[in-house]
Amino acid sequence: MRRSSLAGAVLFIGVAQFLFFLRVAESIYPGYSVSGNYISDLGVGVAAPVFNTSVSFLGVCVIAAAYLSLTVVGSRVFAALVAAAGVGAFGVGLFPENVPVLHTVFSFITFFFAGLAAVYGLRVFNRLMGVISVVCGLTALVALALFASGNYLGLGHGGMERLIVYPVLSWGLMLSGYFIAKPS
């Protein structure tokens, strides 16, 4: 298997399983509200084993994909930004929100570096994919700034947090397809 295809497959598996198990965790958490609960609320209580395992596995997959992508995209900066987001995701699973300081740090690392990696994609990818990358990254970063300032745009803190997460997860799926389809 080509290195680019492997990077894409690993990234796809990581993101897809996280999206799937995020929904499973939301379903088994009593009274969970996507607008009224933080995503990380799933990391404590009955949903914790599902959520923490899934987000940690996402982090491992993102780190592996970043390493494998070094020769694919030819940018150490891009690979480092992606890897940093993966380290953050792994840390979120390792330190759930009942370890508040470390959890907050790793959550910020994940959100910030995933958004930054997507924005940096403008320098790495062709025009169309670069523009889509920037849109995803800027959406996440602007949402992160609004979230940090307490401005939730009427979505609740959980809804606003999803405006950070979903654009970069969508970008991750796009990136996985790019890696899989990239010719040798």
Q: State yes or no: pLDDT of 184 exceeds 90.
A: no
Compute the average pLDDT of residues 20-27.
Answer: 99
What residues contact 53, with CB distance under 8 A and at least 6 apart? 21, 93
Q: How confident is the model at residue 102, as a pLDDT?
A: 98
Domain range for 93 is: 3-181
Segment 98-127 mean pLDDT: 97
Q: What sign has the CA pseudo-torsion 168, 169, 170, 175?
A: positive
Contact of 7 with 179, CB cutoff 8 Å: yes
CA distance 142 to 137: 9
pLDDT score at 149: 98
Domains held by the chain: number: 1
Query: What span, in angstroms and rounded, lies between the C-alpha atoms of 67 and 100?
Result: 29
* Residue 29: HSE in the Cβ half-sphere, 13 Å Cα cutoff: 24
- Do you know the residue count of the chain? 184
pLDDT tens-place string over residues 5-14: 999 999 999 9
Question: In the predicted model, is pLDDT for residue 87 greater than 70?
Answer: yes
- The identity of residue 169, as a single letter, is L
Reported pTM: 0.96
CA-to-CA distance for 78 and 174, rounded, in angstroms?
Answer: 15
Q: Give the model's pLDDT for residue 167.
A: 99
Helix axes 48-73, 76-94, angle to 10 degrees: 170
- In tens, the pLDDT along 147-165 reads 999 999 999 999 999 999 9
- Contact (Cβ atoms closer than 8 angstroms) between residue 43 and residue 22: no
Enter the DSSP assignment of 74: -
